[in-house]
Amino acid sequence: MAVDYQSLAVKGVQALSPYQPGKPIEELARELGLNPAEIIKLASNENPLGPSEKALSAARKALDELCLYPDGNGFELKNALASRFGVGMDQITLGNGSNDVLEVIARCFVDTQSEVIFSQYAFAVYPIVTQAIGAKGLSVPAKDWGHDLDAMAAAISDRTKLIFIANPNNPTGTVHTAEAIEAFLAQVPERVLVVLDEAYCEYLTGDEFPDGIQLLNRYPNLIVCRTFSKAWGLAALRAGYSISSPAIADILNRVRQPFNVDSVALAAATAVLEDDAYLQRSREVNQAGLRQLAEGFDRMGLPYIPSFGNFIAVEVGEQSAGIYQALLSHGVIVRPVTGYGMPRHLRVSVGLPEENERFLDALAQSLVSAGQGA
């Protein structure tokens, strides 16, 4: 008799579906017989500039020692982060991307008797790690596509162990001011941990937006997570980190795998922190791209959610699945967000100016094919 291996999995995992990333260029090329060089991918919130030359140089140098294990403590990267942000090295936890750190946090502090709070339309990893552990996830209805912080505070119970807040939020691009985040943190009992996921924070400009790291001294239950995958342009290398109190970091580092960030990633991430010119260029290209996309949507009469990330969610209507497929036929990959409960939207990453324009042209043609365009 065949074994039903699904029944052997823990209960929370049995009901999970695998995370669906953006379609790779190579996959679309195989499916439609397209030339990979003619395909543009605006699906995964990647940096269109390519990697920093400083990061590339450091990565190439690290290749000479591929036979050696990486520094399990990530001393050089931790030291660079500590110097940049004015924190102690004992406050830092490194991860294989910030996703890794998010999972470690949940594994350290959540069990089957716990509740975890996150927002509707928030990053898919939050409910995934919650369900995998067997905890109860509370998805609080969104307000104007973003987190309803007052409602999230009101949802805290005696069983609440963890709250996830993405600022800016993916996939909606919404953001909360420093004042709003602090007002929320002031309502949270110190026994409840708050994860402020700042994966897109480098794209924010202006004093009205929070820098989570500056809040750590006042809120010891706060954990700030960041990544090198977006504005820093190192998505393929999977390097992220959290900064928290030393006491929380000590717990996280007990569970974190000792070699979870490889040597090439450690070297590139350390080097790119010194390339502020690259970061500034990333911001400039992103801000111009957001304007370009928004102006294009305005011309087509398409509603969109104003975004503070490196992507924008545009409402294309009930035929979003067909429009997505039509865009693929034009060699343009974007991201459906039906799995986020947004079946009328597509999420589009900011590309280079010519990539944005090509997407807008393909979108206009796809809308006409669907009977929605002029």
Instruction: Provide the CATH number for the domain around residue 349.
Output: 3.90.1150.10
Residue 374 domain-assigned? Answer: no
Quick one: which of 226, 213, 228, 204 has its CA closest to 283? Answer: 204
**CATH for 217:** 3.40.640.10
- Residue 43 and residue 101 share a domain: no
pTM for the model stands at: 0.93
- Residue 212 and residue 245 share a domain: yes
- Residue 159 and residue 300 share a domain: no
pLDDT tens-digit profile, the chain (374 residues): 587 767 767 777 767 677 667 778 888 888 888 888 889 999 999 999 999 999 999 999 999 999 999 999 999 999 999 999 999 999 999 999 999 999 999 999 999 999 999 999 999 999 999 999 999 999 999 999 999 999 999 999 999 999 999 999 999 999 999 999 999 999 999 999 999 999 999 999 888 898 999 999 999 999 999 999 999 999 999 999 999 999 999 999 999 998 999 999 999 999 999 999 999 999 999 999 999 999 999 999 999 999 999 999 999 999 999 999 999 999 999 999 999 999 999 999 999 999 999 999 999 999 987 766 55
Could you tell me the end-to-end alpha-carbon distance of the chain, in angstroms, rounded to an integer?
60
Residue 7 domain-assigned? Answer: no
- Residue 228 and residue 304 share a domain: no
User: Among the three residues 239, 274, 309, which one is the final residue of a domain in this structure?
Assistant: 274
* Number of domains within the chain: 2
Residue 13 domain-assigned? Answer: no
User: Among the three residues 223, 251, 274, which one is the final residue of a domain in this structure?
Assistant: 274
- Residue 179 and residue 85 share a domain: yes
Q: What pLDDT is attached to residue 357?
A: 98
Domain that holds residue 322: 19-50+277-369
For residue 171, cis peptide bond before it (omega within 30 degrees of 0): yes
DSSP SS3 for 143? strand
- Residue 289 and residue 158 share a domain: no
Q: What pLDDT is attached to residue 353?
A: 98
DSSP SS3 for 40? strand
In the block, tokens 């990330």 appear at 309
Residue 5 domain-assigned? Answer: no
Q: What pLDDT is attached to residue 88?
A: 97
- Residue 258 and residue 286 share a domain: no
- Residue 244 and residue 173 share a domain: yes
The residues near 187 (Cβ < 8 Å, ≥ 6 apart) are 153, 156
- Residue 286 and residue 361 share a domain: yes
User: Among the three residues 249, 274, 299, which one is the final residue of a domain in this structure?
Assistant: 274
Residue 311 domain-assigned? Answer: yes
